[in-house]
Structure 1
Amino acid sequence: MPRSEASLMRDPLFGVDSRWSWITAGFLGWVLCGVMMGRQAAGVVFYGIIETFGVTRKQASWPLVVSGSLLSIGAPFMGYLCRRFSCRAVLLVCPAVAAVSVCLCYLADGVLFLTIFFGLIHGMALSGAFVAVNVLVSQHFDKRRATACSVIFTLTGLNLLYIPPLAEMLRATYGIRGALLLLGGVMLNSCPAVIILRSPVWMERPDSSPAVEDVQLVKKSVSKAGPSLLGPDTLQEESASEEERTSQQSLWKAVVAKARSFQDLVASCVRTQSPRPAERDSQSFVHALKLFATVPFVVNALSFSVVIFGLTTFVLLHVDLGTDRGLPPERAVLLLNAFAVGDLVVRPLSGIIIDSGLLSLDVVMLLGYIIQGCAFELFVWLDSFPLMLACSTLVGVSNGSRVALQAPALAIDFGIDALPLLMGGLVFATGLVHFTRPFLFGYFRDLHGSYDGILHVVAGLNAAFVVLWTLKVIARKRQRSSCTAMEAVKEPVQC
């Protein structure tokens, strides 16, 4: 007898929040570590493109901006593929494509080639891997979802300790083309981890509904029971008159005839009332599209757009920003190491704090905006190397506290069923802001000679969302207070 969905989810070995869930989280972290290496070396790649091809900063930023934008803009399509096929199918393809596209950049003869392979192809592959990883971890966890997401992003953040120095060493030794070839080869190591990954059993949708399976059981039962019901041995055992036997025989014939047609009746009812798989997909897709227009989704999309914009701006500019202030490239790379220290310390703690109930997700988001806004504003005024390291650490703390909370935030507001499409929509929204960066870089650095304007912009955006999340925290507390009051009123009635 097949086990029920609730029984499967409670299984201590393979259910929700089980041992297998944590094993899956470890392999998901392995995959995400591999595919994100190219993005985490973006500062070195940006500096190497300027040095190798002699282009402006606006032109040099296009391959990296297109990659980051398509990582986000391609997410709705990748979310649909995860729902239509499976997250496993997407992961079997995307990490390999992401690595090979970086290797092919060895053949680059200009920025256009890099924009196509490092930007378009690599960005789409990153999008598929990112969405599939976030959906899978949310499917395998419930009570420990935020902690699991934090662990996965912490494993990915470990790359920041060694990937930028490694990429800079490869660039200095082999040039930017050779560095990309070798970096792509390292990224291929993420492919073996995909073999073990799949959605949990209770998330798999059967091809036929239980009602259709019941029809097949009725059909088999009727075909087996019919001959025995009409057999002469059965009728001879009855001590009755000839008329009674004749009447009984006619009655059994009618019953069996009705039973044989019963499966046709049930089948027609199932066809009429149960939507086909394609219809179910269409209905759920339309429902998810309606969720995109809700206030909670818009707030989450805009909020995480600011988080990712601050992250990608720092990762992309840290080398060039350091060299503008008199640091050699090999020392400017250390700014990202300081960022990584703050990020890695806070990433696992944020999930544990939320799941243990010490702070709510809303409060953690609010604190992250306060810290990041202050850190970017201090970067404008503090130009000594130790103070820049301290500011980089603060940026890392603010990023680590929030970047892993995308899937948990959506799951709190909307549940798990629509998460693949909603996650794709969220990442899509975060990608739209990336297209503003080449123009911002060109305007502030190429025309005004400084990145201070961009730092002011990021600080201002964080200040705006401090106000928004303060209002959200207040509204959530009032909602919980009203719910508690209603429960207190209902208790005497129930007694």
Structure 2
Amino acid sequence: MSPAPADELGYKPLDGGWGWMVVVGAHISIGFAYSTPKALSIFFKEIQEELGASYSEIAWISSIMLAAMYAGGPVSSALVNRFGSRPIVILGGLMCWASMVTASFGTSIIYIYFFIGVIGGCGLALNLNASLTIISKYFLAKRPLANGLAMAGSPVFLCFLAPLNQYLLDKFGWRGSLLILGGLMLNCCVAGALMRPVNAPCKPISGAYTEDGGGTKFLDLTFFKDRGFIIYLIGNMMFIFGAYAPIVFLPAYAIDQGVEEYAAAYLLSIMGFVDMFIRPGTGLVANSKWIRPRIQYFFSFAMIFNGTCHLVCPLLKSHALLVAYAVCFGIGFGMVFALIFECLMDLMGNERFPSAVGLVTIIECFPMLLGPPTAGLLVDIYGDYKYLFMMCGSVIVAGGLFLFVMNTCNYHMLEKEKTAKDRHQHQDNQDNQDNQDNQENQENQENRDQVSILEL
């Protein structure tokens, strides 16, 4: 049984109404946030040849962008709690537009790192955290479904961005493609406009800023006293380390196996197409009365399935088998990302979630930063992609098994602690009752003694 804290927000979330328009906005915002670092891999070969970069150097582009997106979590959470989601998402969209347009004039890999990686990643951080936070304000009973629909933005956008980027690359080169992609990312500003604030009294959220502008702790380190949070964080970091390198290098791996360039790019679209249906479907399953109390175990299974797909990939050489891998990859990846933030909400509750997600994302930026370049380094050293997939798959499977075992132990310990607490409380009540009885008996005895004296 999941030990989620009570969601005492001080008001009842709408669980519908304008909330579904907010989900549409979050779908767009999260779609760009997660799909852009993956879809940019279509340009990597051309950028690599023009700027003379190695595999590990080119992998740093997506890695820095994702790391900046995650590292910006606490700042984004603080800004959202101070100003609300709407202006922050609009600001994030403008930053993404500026980063892509400026990067199109780049003449060195360091220039690309800074503008696409750092500036673009910070813009994506504003989009991601603001979207996740406002969903937790609008939904409670239907929250897993709302999260699943919003997180489905990533595969939906990846599904059309991958072939679109390949088309733009052929027509305009990577520089012209970045200009057009920057214009497309202005749609995040439209998404932000849909995020109408919730007009309800909210309690101050620790670890960020209160609505009246009063500052509290920037990072709430008290989360590290929560055993469930620590378990979630360790397992999640293991997943993040191995999650993105297979996506970044999948088109290049397919081309290396003799697959035509457009067909290689479409592997990402196939993965995204499957993923877009899996995420809301997973949200529906997670919302059921059988799965929701056991959602942490469901998350563990999704991670193990995802990692197993990568371990099998080096055995697949033909285009047909790589399509099958892309389908299974889409299933596993979609399941994990439909649950990844819902599990954190389940552990921390709606009230503490904005601070918790900020702390989680800034810690996750380190495995995010190191994962793809480490995988690229393996390709540089061995000249073979199979070691990349084996490393990523092993780390993810180990993370899933860790979550399963440790959550089982944690729930057992929580049950024992609850039993001991109930027993202690019962003993205290019994002692209080005995003391009360003794006091009453003493008072009665004193009354009888007084009566006897009066009779004498």
TM superposition score normalised by structure 2 = 0.82
Give the corresponding residue for 1:417.
Answer: 351
Partner amino acid, structure 2, of 1:434: M
Q: For 1:429, which of 363, 368, 376 is the aligned residue?
A: 363
Give the corresponding residue for 1:350.
Answer: 282
Displacement of 1:433 after TM fit?
0.8
Contact preservation (8 Å) 1:73, 1:428: yes
1:191-218 Cα offsets, whole Å, 9 max, x none, are 1221231331225569xxxxxxxxxxxx
Residue 301, structure 1, aligned to residue 251, structure 2: no
Contact preservation (8 Å) 1:107, 1:177: yes
Contact preservation (8 Å) 1:319, 1:332: yes
Aligned counterparts, 1:377-388, within 5 A: 377-388=311-322
Residue 330, structure 1, aligned to residue 328, structure 2: no
Contact preservation (8 Å) 2:311, 2:393: yes
Give the corresponding residue for 1:28.
Answer: 26
Partner amino acid, structure 2, of 1:109: T
Give the corresponding residue for 1:392.
Answer: 326
Uncovered stretches (5+) of structure 2, i.e. residues with no partner: 1-6, 205-209, 430-456
Displacement of 1:152 after TM fit?
0.6
Displacement of 1:341 after TM fit?
3.1
Residue 447, structure 1, aligned to residue 381, structure 2: yes
Give the corresponding residue for 1:367.
Answer: 301
Uncovered stretches (5+) of structure 1, i.e. residues with no partner: 207-274
Contact preservation (8 Å) 1:32, 1:133: yes
Partner amino acid, structure 1, of 2:315: W
> Cα–Cα, structure 1 residues 199 and 419, in superposed 2: closer, same or farther, change >3 Å?
farther
Contact preservation (8 Å) 2:245, 2:372: no
* Secondary structure of residue in 1 paired with 2:197: coil
Give the corresponding residue for 2:128.
Answer: 130
Displacement of 1:142 after TM fit?
0.8
Supply the RMSD in Å over aligned alpha carbons: 3.1
Paired with 1:392 and 1:276, the residues of 2 have a C-alpha distance of: 45
Paired with 1:199 and 1:169, the residues of 2 have a C-alpha distance of: 39
Displacement of 1:454 after TM fit?
1.9
Paired with 2:316 and 2:24, the residues of 1 have a C-alpha distance of: 39
Paired with 2:413 and 2:141, the residues of 1 have a C-alpha distance of: 21
Displacement of 1:310 after TM fit?
3.6
Paired with 1:203 and 1:478, the residues of 2 have a C-alpha distance of: 37
Displacement of 1:463 after TM fit?
2.5
* Secondary structure of residue in 1 paired with 2:351: coil
> Cα–Cα, structure 1 residues 6 and 389, in superposed 2: closer, same or farther, change >3 Å?
closer
* Secondary structure of residue in 2 paired with 1:61: helix
Residue 317, structure 1, aligned to residue 238, structure 2: no
Paired with 1:156 and 1:186, the residues of 2 have a C-alpha distance of: 15
Q: For 2:390, which of 456, 477, 485 is the aligned residue?
A: 456
> Cα–Cα, structure 1 residues 85 and 289, in superposed 2: closer, same or farther, change >3 Å?
farther
Paired with 2:330 and 2:79, the residues of 1 have a C-alpha distance of: 32
Paired with 2:192 and 2:67, the residues of 1 have a C-alpha distance of: 25
Partner amino acid, structure 2, of 1:308: I
Displacement of 1:106 after TM fit?
1.8
> Cα–Cα, structure 1 residues 164 and 459, in superposed 2: closer, same or farther, change >3 Å?
same
Partner amino acid, structure 1, of 2:336: R
Aligned counterparts, 1:154-165, within 5 A: 154-165=152-163
Contact preservation (8 Å) 1:292, 1:425: no
Paired with 2:233 and 2:267, the residues of 1 have a C-alpha distance of: 28
Aligned counterparts, 1:9-48, within 5 A: 9-10=11-12, 15-48=13-46
1:5-29 Cα offsets, whole Å, 9 max, x none, are 999944xxxx431312222112221
Contact preservation (8 Å) 2:92, 2:188: no
* Secondary structure of residue in 1 paired with 2:335: helix
Paired with 2:41 and 2:121, the residues of 1 have a C-alpha distance of: 16
1:309-342 Cα offsets, whole Å, 9 max, x none, are 4432122111111122122221111221221233
> Cα–Cα, structure 1 residues 317 and 366, in superposed 2: closer, same or farther, change >3 Å?
same
Paired with 1:365 and 1:401, the residues of 2 have a C-alpha distance of: 8
